[in-house]
Amino acid sequence: MPEKLIELSQGFLKADMHCHTYHSGLTGHMKAFEPMDSYNSPEDLYQLAKKRGMDLVTITDHDSIDGCLSFLNKHPDANDFFIGEEVTVKLPEYKTSVHANAIYVKQDLSAPTCNDCHGNHGAAPPGIASVANVCGQCHARQAELFQTSPHKKAFDDRQFGECITCHSNHAILKPNDSMIGTQQGALCINCHSNGDKGFAAAGMMRTRIDDLIAGIDKSTGILNQAERKGMEVSKPKFELKGATDALTHARVLIHSSSTAEVDKVVKPGLEAADKGYQAGVAALGEWKFRREGLAVSLIFILFLAFLVYLKIRQIEGRQPLKEIAKP
């Protein structure tokens, strides 16, 4: 470190830690025009930086120190230049995540890439107690519920990463119901054991969710059966949405860690499911009634036809035989 500069700046040195030269190559944007990240030579960049008052100069080309080496080759004695590089980092785990899937497969550009969570170029990992804020930029409801749940303080005190202790940070997978509960493989039993409140809550929440799923399946089943028989059930089918919405909502409310909160949506959800089931029962009843009615009227019609037939036979019987036999 050149002593003279430290004296000059009273312990502070000015340096722009992010500069590119043509050694960074093409940008990868607007490929048809083949634009470069920078058109500066290392020499030009050094002169410009000094002119703008930098004490130290570096070049941070993408994945290359060629620019730095070329400058140092020409100025081996430069004591205010050091080697830098902007390194591209790829995380294989990120590729497996719901976020990468949303971006690369579903073309949903609202899903986060590295800098949405880490900030542009800052690259610092989010602080352990602020992860919920990072995720909360997009998952506001879950973050809000988590912040007011007993887990917020419990996790921060123990330095468990918010959100990421349960979801991981890079390899975030699509969640499912088997994460909740007290069975093998559930998240909750990593920290809770039989006898504590968290364990009891985990069991209850899972039961509520399973009950609601069973209720929805039962109603959907009977309504589909009625529909196949030609009954009009589009209205109760639509109204069953109240139950499926409740299920979605309950899965979000898990983040409150409160069974009472989950119950608030599960109860009306179960009622909606039951209403759908009753509508299905009624539609099948109606179908049965109509079918029986059809059978009765069919028998009646056949009976009438038979009477008509008898009558015709009777009329024909009255005509004298000789008249019919006449040529």
Q: Which of 20, 23, 208, 255 forms a contact with ligand HEC (CB under 6 A)?
A: 255
Q: What is the closest distance, in whole angstroms, from the C-beta atom of residue 264 to ligand HEC in the complex?
A: 15
DSSP state of 174: P
Task: Assess contact for 192 and 257: CB atoms under 8 A.
Answer: no
Exactly one of 40, 208, 251, 283 binds ligand HEC (CB under 6 A); which one?
251
Site for ligand HEC in 109-128 (CB under 6 A): 110-114, 116-118, 125-126, 128
Q: Is 194 left (phi over 0), alpha (psi -120 to 50) or beta?
A: beta
Closest to ligand HEC by CB, 42 or 112: 112
DSSP label at 199?
Answer: H
Quote the least distance from Cβ 184 to ligand HEC, whole Å: 14
Query: What distance separates the 2 farthest-apart alpha carbons in the chain?
Result: 148
| Class of residue 68 by CB neighbours under 10 A (exposed 0-12, middle 13-18, buried 19+) | buried
Residue 86 CB, shortest distance to ligand HEC, in Å, is 12
- Amino acid identity of residue 113, one-letter, is T
Instruction: In angstroms, give the least distance from the CB of 62 to ligand HEC.
Output: 14
Contacts of 221 (CB under 8 A, 6+ apart): 280
DSSP three-state, residue 297: helix
CA distance 83 to 176: 48
Backbone torsion region of residue 10, taken as left when φ is above 0, otherwise alpha when ψ lies between -120 and 50, otherwise beta: left
d(CA 230, CA 286): 11
How many residues appear in the chain? 327
The one segment of 77-85, 105-113, 211-219, 234-242 that binds ligand HEC by CB under 6 A? 105-113
Q: Would you count residue 69 as binding ligand HEC (CB under 6 A)?
A: no
Q: Which of 46, 146, 212, 262 binds ligand HEC (CB under 6 A)?
A: 146
Q: Is 176 in the site for ligand HEC (CB under 6 A)?
A: yes
Q: Is 197 in the site for ligand HEC (CB under 6 A)?
A: yes
# of chain residues touching ligand HEC (CB under 6 A):
66
CB of 269 to ligand HEC, least distance (A): 14
Distance in angstroms between the alpha carbons of the first and the last residue of the chain: 140
Q: Which residues bind ligand HEC (CB under 6 A)?
A: 89, 91, 94, 98-99, 102, 106, 108, 110-114, 116-118, 125-126, 128, 131-132, 134-139, 142-143, 146, 150-151, 154, 160-167, 169-170, 172, 174-177, 179-180, 187-188, 190-192, 196-198, 201-202, 205, 251-252, 254-255, 257
